[in-house]
Amino acid sequence: MTEIRDVTHRYATEQRLESASLTPSTATIAGHPIHPMLIPFPIAFLSGVLVTDLTYIVGGDRFWADVSFWLLVAGIATAALAGVFGAIDTLSSARIRSLNIVRLHDAANLFVVSLAVISLLLRANDHAGGVEPWGVLLSAAIALMMFVSEWMGGELVYPHRVGVRTDRM
């Protein structure tokens, strides 16, 4: 019975994908969307902050607190750059703007960057002093919210076909 349900679900998903309108990205390089090329950087940098914060807490080596600070700087900068290209795609397409999940995705990303800026400001004068307790709590909140936001980004690409290259179909 489970196999029948799986096949039925797969068929329904394939039908939905086939019938969904394709919305190619307008911000591209040689036909490749720029926004998805950039998002791995802030994800890696901002996720890394949680790892280096925990490493600092466990080991006490101030080096890791400094690394957390600079990962925040890099994460905020690359998130801003990715956000510019995401905004270009969103603003250039009425179909993209009409999707509710786009607004949720954008709001979640703005929230993540806001938390990262707060965390950066907490650490500005003393990288190690800003880690406990608020820095690591903010890092955990950032990682969790990024997971949610990037799941929404995946929903935009796969079920809603946003940023899909039509010349490869």
Rounded to the nearest integer, the mean pLDDT of the chain is 88
Residue 139 sits at the vertex; the CA angle it makes with 138 and 145, to the nearest 5 degrees, is 85
Stretch 102-115: mean pLDDT: 96
* Nearest Cα residue to 65 out of 55, 75, 74, 73: 55
Task: Give the tens place of pLDDT for each residue, 145-155.
Answer: 999 999 999 99
Looking at the predicted structure, is the pLDDT value of residue 111 above 90? yes
* Domain containing residue 123: 2-167
Ranges 1-5, 43-47, 154-158, most confident: 43-47
Q: Taking a C-beta distance cutoff of 8 angstroms, is the pair 13, 154 a contact?
A: no
| Total domains present in the chain | 1
Q: What is the pTM of this model?
A: 0.84
Look at residue 21 in the predicted model and tell me its pLDDT: 67
Burial class of residue 55 in the structure, from the number of CB atoms within 10 Å of its CB (0-12 exposed, 13-18 middle, 19+ buried): middle
